Amino acid sequence: MFGKVSVRLLGISLLVVIAGCNKTDTGGAIDAGGSAATPTPAVIQGACPQVYLLDGTANYRTYAKGAKDDPTKIVYQASLADTTRQCVQNESQLVMTVVVQGRVIAGPAGGAGTVTLPIRVAATDGKNTLYSELTQYPVEVPTGVGTTQFIFTKTQITLPGGAGDFAKVYVGFDEGPAAGKKK
């Protein structure tokens, strides 16, 4: 009889464990009083706009003073390569985080030191600019190496709710004036 009871208890405990593993998390937290706090917005990728690197803005060069377009006078050359993104949707807006991988190489006129890269993140619906911000991003080129990789992350990119269905996000180097955030 003891064997039959232990087999039944084992079976029931396995069902409880499996049921616990299949529970769907609805987000949010329980506060100290035991009631549900504000729900945590869900991460959504299906409606997250694509991130694009344009050929004309994915590369950046700085030259020694007085030089332009002279390959022997390049101080630093930078490029952007891969991107990824994450979106969180709430009642009224889509909030994005964009991550871009890049590389900086010291040129013939350069060396170790810090280069400041003007990286712009912009979102458009084709006709209107939904978001645009220029970040002066410092990258340290180590001594004796002459090249380094970097990861640029831009958080809190806010777009109108539903913008993920029609918006495109562009990331690139921009030497133009710093435009303010648009919403």
pLDDT score at 42: 62
The answer to the question of residue 36 being in a domain is no
Confidence band for 24, pLDDT divided at 50, 70 and 90: very low
pLDDT score at 44: 65
Domain residues for 74?
A: 43-173
The answer to the question of residue 86 being in a domain is yes
The answer to the question of residue 70 being in a domain is yes
Based on the structure, what is the number of domains in the chain?
1
The answer to the question of residue 50 being in a domain is yes
The answer to the question of residue 71 being in a domain is yes
Give mean pLDDT, residues 52-68. 90
Asked whether the predicted pLDDT for residue 165 surpasses 60, the reply is yes
Whole-number Cα distances in Å, 131 to 4, 26, 36, 93 = 66, 30, 34, 12
pLDDT tens-digit map of 143-162 = 888 899 999 999 999 998 77
